[in-house]
């Protein structure tokens, strides 16, 4: 058996009682050092502007657990695409991705970029709308609202994915983003 298989088997039993121990998949991926996280804040996104993030998966499937955004003002569209074509990847943001198991030295195969030069968005997979929030009506409403990808997405190996955020709020906004994913090593 491989070292990884032995490690998984050893972790399946409680060391004191020797009984079978059951852990959900996400928790287990974190302990095995296969869970990754990235986050950041974008300031000064002008009304009607578009921000884009591109993810390029490696040779293994990527399990996106969380893709979440928090906005200081509503009326935002978030669209997710698969099989995006680009003429330039944009700014490399891969250094913002960290292993959630801080004892692990495993790095992700997934690469992340900001502001790619998109020639074809690809297939639309998911839409999110962050409505105007707080008090007031329409584009005059302020407040904090968030949204994301819903449930887990299993991304194809060796593929490009695009997240496109459009500010329709009528004002300049700031927002926060966060991704959490795992890449199984088996």
Q: What is the CATH number of the domain that holds 119?
A: 2.60.120
**By residue range, what is the domain housing residue 136?**
37-182
Looking at residue 83, what is its pLDDT?
Answer: 98
- 26 within a domain of the structure (yes/no): no
The DSSP line for 98-146 is EESSTT-----S-EEEES-EEEE--EEEEEEEE---SSSSGGG----EE
pTM of the model: 0.82
- 20 within a domain of the structure (yes/no): no
- 49 within a domain of the structure (yes/no): yes
- β 153-155/173-182 pair status: unpaired
Domain count within the chain: 1
Indicate whether 138 pLDDT > 60. Answer: no
- 17 within a domain of the structure (yes/no): no
pLDDT digit string, tens, across residues 102-116: 999 999 999 999 999
Indicate whether 35 pLDDT > 90. Answer: yes
- 25 within a domain of the structure (yes/no): no
- 125 within a domain of the structure (yes/no): yes
Higher-pLDDT residue of 138 and 25 is 25
């Amino acid at each position: 058996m491989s070292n990884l298989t032995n490690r998984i088997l050893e972790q399946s039993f409680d060391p004191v009682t020797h009984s079978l121990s059951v852990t959900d998949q996400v928790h287990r991926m974190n302990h095995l050092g296969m869970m990754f996280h990235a986050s950041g804040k974008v300031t000064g996104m002008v009304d009607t502007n578009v921000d884009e993030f591109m993810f390029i998966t490696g040779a293994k499937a990527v399990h996106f657990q969380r893709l979440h955004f928090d906005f200081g003002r509503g009326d935002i569209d978030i669209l997710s695409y698969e099989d995006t074509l680009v003429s330039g990847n944009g700014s490399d943001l891969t250094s913002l991705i960290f292993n959630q198991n801080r004892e692990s030295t495993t790095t992700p195969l997934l690469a992340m970029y900001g502001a790619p030069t998109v020639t074809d968005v690809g297939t639309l997979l998911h839409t999110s709308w962050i409505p105007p929030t707080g008090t007031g009506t329409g584009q005059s409403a302020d407040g904090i609202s968030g949204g994301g990808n819903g449930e887990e997405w299993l991304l194809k190996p060796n593929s490009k994915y695009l997240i496109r955020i459009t500010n329709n709020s009528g004002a300049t906004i700031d927002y926060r983003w966060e991704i959490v994913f795992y890449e199984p090593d088996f």
